[in-house]
Amino acid sequence: HLCHVGCFSLQVWLCGGSIEIIPCSKIAHIERYHKPYLPDLSDMMKRNTLRVAEVWMDEYKHSINIAWNLPVENHGIDIGDVSERKKLREKLKCKPFQWFLDHVYTSLKPIHNLVGYGALINNLKPDLCVDQGPKPGHTPIMYSCHFYSPQHCYYNTDGKLYIGGIKSHKYNSDSCLVDLGSGNLPVLFECKVAQEKKFHMLWDFKQGGRIQNKQTKRCLEVAWGQDGHFKLIVDQCSGQSWKVQHVFDHISAQKN
- 130: closest CA among 139, 116, 140? 140
Q: Tell me the pLDDT of the chain (256 aa) as tens digits.
A: 444 444 457 888 899 887 777 788 777 777 777 767 666 667 888 898 999 999 999 999 999 999 899 998 889 999 999 999 999 999 999 999 999 999 888 888 888 889 999 999 999 999 999 999 987 558 999 999 999 999 999 999 999 999 998 877 666 678 999 999 999 999 999 999 999 999 999 999 999 999 999 999 999 999 998 888 999 999 999 999 999 999 987 444 344 4
- 114: closest CA among 77, 60, 78, 74? 60
Q: Specify whether the CB–CB gap between 152 and 119 falls below 8 A.
A: yes
Please give the pLDDT value at position 91: 96
**What pTM was estimated for this model as a whole?**
0.82
Q: Specify whether the CB–CB gap between 145 and 151 falls below 8 A.
A: yes
Strands 230-235, 242-247: pairing is: unpaired
Residue 120 to residues 5, 192, 200, Cα–Cα distance (Å): 32, 23, 20
- Alpha-carbon radius of gyration of the chain: 21
- Give the 3-state secondary structure of 50-79: HHHHHHHCHHHCHHHHHHCCCCCCCCCCCC
